[in-house]
Structure 1
Amino acid sequence: MSEAYNLLTRRLLRSYLASSTVAVLGVGSLFIFATLHIQARAVLWITAILFVSFLTMVSAELLVYRYHMAPIRRALSESCTEKELRKAYLRTHQLPQLTVLRIMGPHLFGVSVPALSLSAWAIARGDLNLSPSDLLSAAVGAVLVATMHALIEYYLTTTAVSPMLETLIETGEKRGISLSLEGRILVSLRMKLIISLVLLGIFPLILFTLANAIRLAQQNSALTVGYWQWALLILPVSIAISILGAILLWRNIFMPMELLQKSLREIEQGRMDKAVPDPFSDEFSRLIAGMNHMRKGLLERDRVNASLVESYFATLATALDARDPYTAGHSLRVAHYACTIAELSGESAVVIDRVKRSALLHDIGKIGVRDDVLLKPDRLTEDEFEQIKKHPELGEAILKQVQPEEAMAPLLPGVRSHHEQYDGRGYPDGLAGEHIPKLGRIIAVADAFDAMTSDRPYRVGMDKEKALRIMREGAGVQWDPFYTEVFLEWAEARWTREMLLDLTAVTKLQS
């Protein structure tokens, strides 16, 4: 951590010196010494004034700088708390903005206030051959120089803080702390782009206008009035063009960014079926092509995962049914009937999928029933039946062990409640009517029909017509009347069609 902090301070110092060299020494010195006609003695005075102002500025800046860096220094200690680590991470992200505030605050005023005060004092003494308008121009020039200094150092600082951010993230990971802004925007790209372009557009123009005005005033004051009339016409137009250009460029960049953000939101919500349109011919076209490639990869991954999950449920149900040869295929048939009921009832695709998976695993609890009870060829005793009645609770307990919990949670009501009866005489909870979960009521109808029509060691499965008649009589008593009626209408129509097909085949054979 200490090495990262030392690296950060060195990079910040280099950024400060680089931006100061360009903005202060380059632009500021050119503005003062190349524009003004200053006597040799006045040069010494200006140099001394700038030196005193420089010392004042450095003192003020160092105080503010130490305050800005304090949270980062505290994070260097081994005993720093999670709160201090998070504060240091945020403060490191904030350093570019704080640099701008420092330059436009203690830096600017630390130079300009003593410089203007001492210059006014020297003019009053007659040691400087400057006019009050020169001081005003110098004050405006100082603001311009500080603004350009802040702009340059903002971007240099943004690069300089990267290693420190990586170090803080690694430190947090070692302590089990995830450091992230989580989408929080400290300075919007729009603001950075527009302000930067406008400043870069108008800064040279204003600097040239001021410098030229000072030289004209020194050579021929009569020309100054006409010059400013001309300048005040040109400057607003130029500034407006800079602002308009910045806004147009931002809009040109913002459109593909908004398109990419919209696509990311759709992917986050699971909507990946639609490709991102690509009407661009610059680098954004490459980004969108990459986005579409990623979307195709995610779709393929989801397809494979869905296939694996479906195979998992079907294989588990088949393995369960294989334990009892007399009920082979029971879970698959129940799932088919239950999904049919859900579809005909107008349930959503999400509910239908839950019905299917819950139905496939509805008897998973029978794994916990002893073979001598589950596979008994004769009728069960009362005690043995009580053991069988525990399988819904056992099934729920088994599925609760599957991680993550939220994956199986929607399926549990169907597994636990598929033996509840509409009149409240079922098990394991004795629920009645609408208090029985929807999945349980649907699966109960499908399970009952398949159980009645399947062979058991101690009885032959009844024919479909008899099973349907029993279910019609039990609608509203043992089974949910709505779902029972939906199933009966579908089953009767299906069996009727099968009988007609069989009759047609027989007729053809006879003829």
Structure 2
Amino acid sequence: MDSEQQRRRKALYQLFLKKLLRNYIVGSMFAVLVVGSAIVLTTLEVPGPEYKRMMYILLVSLAVMLVTELIVFFVHIKPIRKGLLEPEGGFDVLEKAYLQTHKLPMLAIYRILGPHLLGLMVPAVGMTLWMLHVGLLTFPPFYLTIAVLGAILVASMHAMIDFFLTTLTIRPLIQEFKKQTEERYRVELDLDGHVFMSIRPKFLVSAMLIGSSPLLLFSLAAQLRLRSLDHDIIQNYWSWAGLILVIDLSFAYAGARLITQNVEEPIGKLYDAMNEIREGRLVLIQNEYSDEFSKLVAGFNMMVRALQNREVQSLTMLESYFVTLATALDARDAYTAGHSTRVAEYSELIGRLSGMADEQINVIRKSALLHDIGKIGIRDTVLLKDGRLTDEEFDQIKAHPALGENILMQIEPKDAMAPLLPGVRSHHERYDGKGYPDGLAGEDIPLLGRIIAVADAYDAMTSDRPYRRGMDCTKALSILEEGRGKQWDPMFAKVFVDHMRKRLAN
């Protein structure tokens, strides 16, 4: 790593630290000084010396909290520091730093509700109880319970704020780690859809805190201010205030649920649609939104339509590619011109008559178009010979199914060719097991092979050859019917023969 890169990453790390520490200190000062001093100290009516003692407790507790949390904080960022500032670190170090960076917002919550809150409360509660015990403080002990509840509430608000601020702060680091791994290892770091915190708890808890915290803090402070009033008055007050609190909490929860559902629904639809696309199904989303999600859904649908158009173009080109190959093969022999196309049409017909799905019929057609592609490797003196073939020459002809399979196996992408291979290899197998190249019998013969065999035989019998004229269609159908269960699959031969006879009758 050159010195310029080191300086840039060091500056990035320092800026990252500065922002995190600023967020932390501002939140801590707000939680401890503003809430603790401005609310608690101004609410309590205690003699001057006791104010000083309470301020002493507050400052000591703040110091303990800062030390405790900073220790945990630097433990949390250690992998990040190592990934940024140690050039000898390998891919594992960068990956760990990348994941730790994503975890940092959640770790901020754990840190504030853990060492932050406990670092403040434990010494504060301990020293307060001791001073109450020895008489240095004289307020009622139940005030301490109110202070603890207030501290928990304020820490929760602080954790929420720090979570969202940290989420913004870590983005430059995530980009840097992704950039490093791409440059050094040609690997793209990605969470692969892993979620460290889902939208539901994030929105629900945040909205609940925002909606209820001010009123809860007010209620705690009011309890301190009302301590000198008559017991009956206080009881009546809390009967009324309790109802208000219940209504507020219910309203905050209902509002939080509605907000969460309003955000979750379009995101859920987008996520489901993306899963459909990943499975190869290009689906559009009904755009029924009037906010920013409308733009997002419109953009998604625009992308899907572009993919649909591209898929149509790709399929058209692929179909043209298959037809071109078949035409090139048929062009070697003027007497069999169009054979592959006709066999594809007959095979497709058999598939439809048998109730097969469009996707499967598409595979049948492509495989049938290329069923004789192996004949490209047969010498013209053998392939185009007018007279009877010798045994050696016939063996060469019998090699074309396996040769065709080998040719298609070399074509990329291999997964696009794989479904077509069984039909190419097995279209000369016989149902009674006397075919070639593998001598398969019955339903051991691949489905494509059994379909193409019927179509291939019919076209071969009805097409003209140099040494004979094509057979009458009626006679060819009779031969197919007689060969059902022997040479050809009985079901596929039957549906084809029955259909063709109806066509001829009309």
> Given the two structures, how large is their TM-score scaled by the length of structure 1?
0.90
Q: Equivalences for 1:172-183 in 2 at 5 Å?
A: 172-174=181-183, 175-183=185-193
Residues 32, 62 of structure 2: 8 Å contact kept: no
Report the equivalent of 1:289: 298
Write the deviation string for residues 253-305 of structure 1: whole angstroms up to 9, x where unpaired: 333333333433444444446x4333333222333333332332222222222
Alignment map for 1:51-130 (pairs within 5 Å): 51-76=59-84, 77-78=86-87, 80=89, 82-130=91-139
1:141 aligned to 2:141? no
Confirm whether residue 378 of structure 1 aligns to residue 392 of structure 2. Answer: no
Gaps of 5+ in 1: 498-511
CA–CA distance in structure 2, aligned partners of residues 58 and 383 of structure 1: 92
Residue in structure 2 matched with residue 12 of structure 1 by the alignment: 20
Query: Following TM superposition, by how much is the alpha carbon of 1:71 offset from its aligned partner in structure 2, in angstroms?
Result: 3.4
Query: What stretches of structure 2 of length at least 5 have no aligned partner?
Result: 1-8
Q: Of 39, 43, 56, which aligns to 1:31? A: 39
Distance 1:222 1:30 in 2: 29
Show the 5 A alignment for 1:432-511.
Answer: 432-497=441-506
Give the structure 2 partner of residue 209 of structure 1: 219
Q: Report if the CA contact (8 A) 1:4-1:167 is conserved.
A: no
Q: Quick check: 152-161 or 135-144, which moved more?
A: 135-144
Q: Return the offset for 1:354.
A: 1.1
Rounded to whole Å, the distance in 1 between the matches of 2:167 and 2:28 is 16
Distance (Å, rounded) in 1 between the aligned partners of 2:303 and 2:242: 54
Structure 1 residue 119: Cα displacement: 2.4
Match of 2:415 among 400, 403, 406: 406
- The CA deviation at 1:221 is 7.6
Q: Give the superposition deviation at 1:81.
A: 5.5
Alpha-carbon distance change, 345 to 230 in structure 1, aligned in 2, over 3 angstroms: closer
User: What is the aligned-residue identity percentage?
Assistant: 49
**Between 442-451 and 57-66, the greater mean CA deviation after superposition:** 57-66
Alpha-carbon distance between aligned partners in 2 of 1:423 and 1:244, rounded to the nearest angstrom: 72
Aligned CA distance change for structure 1 residues 494 and 16 (closer, same or farther; 3 Å): same
Match of 2:226, SS state, is helix
Whether the 8 Å contact between 1:355 and 1:411 is mirrored in structure 2 is yes
Equivalent residue number for residue 349 of structure 2: 340
Paired residue for 1:508? none
Aligned partners of 2:161 and 2:230: how far apart in 1?
A: 36
Change (3 A) 1:360 1:4: farther
**Aligned residue for 1:420?**
429
2:241 maps to a residue whose letter is: A
Equivalent AA in structure 2 for residue 98 of structure 1 = L
Alpha-carbon distance change, 411 to 59 in structure 1, aligned in 2, over 3 angstroms: same
Q: Do the aligned partners of 2:339 and 2:459 also contact (CA within 8 Å) in 1?
A: yes
The whole-number CA distance in structure 1 between the counterparts of 2:60 and 2:118 is 13
Alignment partner of 1:251 out of 251, 261, 282:
261
Q: Deviations over 1:418-440 (max 9, x none)?
A: 11112212111111111111100
Aligned to 2:206: 196
Distance 1:134 1:482, change over 3 A: closer
Tell me, yes or no, if the aligned pair for 1:194 and 1:246 is still in contact at 8 Å. Answer: yes
Q: Is the 8 A contact 1:213 1:227 kept in 2?
A: no
Q: 1:422 to 1:79 in 2, by over 3 A?
A: farther
One-letter amino acid of the structure 2 residue matched with residue 209 of structure 1 = S
Which secondary structure state, in structure 1, belongs to the residue aligned with residue 39 of structure 2? Answer: helix
- Code of the aligned partner of 2:457: A
Name the CA distance, whole Å, in 1 between partners of 2:220 and 2:431.
90
Q: Corresponding residue for 2:4? A: none
Distance in 2, matches of 1:7 and 1:426, equals 76
The separation in 2 between residues aligned to 1:309 and 1:32, in whole angstroms, is: 76
What displacement does 1:104 show?
0.9
Matched, 1:324 2:317: no
Aligned AA for 1:100?
I
One-letter code of the match for 1:259? K
Which of 245, 250, 255 pairs up with 1:240?
A: 250
Deviates more, 1:59-68 or 1:338-347: 59-68
Deviation at 1:313, TM superposition (A): 1.1
Report the Cα distance in structure 2 between the residues aligned to 1:133 and 1:204, rounded to whole angstroms.
21
**SS of match in other structure, 1:380:** coil
The whole-number CA distance in structure 2 between the counterparts of 1:205 and 1:398 is 77
Matches of 1:468 and 1:119 in 2, distance apart?
A: 104
Q: Deviations over 1:47-100 (max 9, x none)?
A: 322222122112221232233233334445455555554443332222111111
Which residue identity does 2:303 align to in structure 1? Answer: M
Contact 1:379 1:458 in 2 (8 A): no
On the 8 A contact 1:414/1:439 being kept in 2, the answer is: yes
The letter for the 2-side match of 1:470 is: I
Aligned equivalents of 2:42 and 2:409: distance in 1?
81
2:199–2:264 CA contact under 8 A, matched in 1: no
Deviations 1:210-240 (A, max 9, x none): 2222123268788544433433232222212
Are the counterparts in 1 of residues 76 and 107 from structure 2 also a CA contact under 8 Å? yes
Distance in 1 of aligned mates of 2:229 and 2:478: 115
How big is the shift at 1:341? 1.1
Q: TM-score, normalised by structure 2?
A: 0.91
> What SS does the corresponding residue of 1:217 show, helix, strand or coil?
coil
User: What SS is found at the alignment partner of 2:286?
Assistant: coil
Q: 1:462 to 1:165 in 2, by over 3 A?
A: same
For 1:404 and 1:23, the matched residues in 2 are separated by 61
Alpha-carbon separation, structure 2, partners of 1:437 and 1:491: 24
The question of whether the paired residues in 2 share the 8 Å contact of 1:313 and 1:361 is answered with yes
Q: How far has the Cα of 1:472 moved from its partner? A: 2.6
Distance apart, 1:5 and its partner CA? 3.9
User: What's the RMSD between the two structures over aligned residues?
Assistant: 2.4
* Pair 69,395 (structure 1): closer, same or farther in 2 beyond 3 Å: same
Q: Distance in 1 between matches of 2:354 and 2:153?
A: 72
Q: Which moved more, 1:239-248 or 1:351-360?
A: 239-248
Give the Å deviation of 1:197.
0.9
Residues matched between the structures, number? 496
Partner of 1:501: none
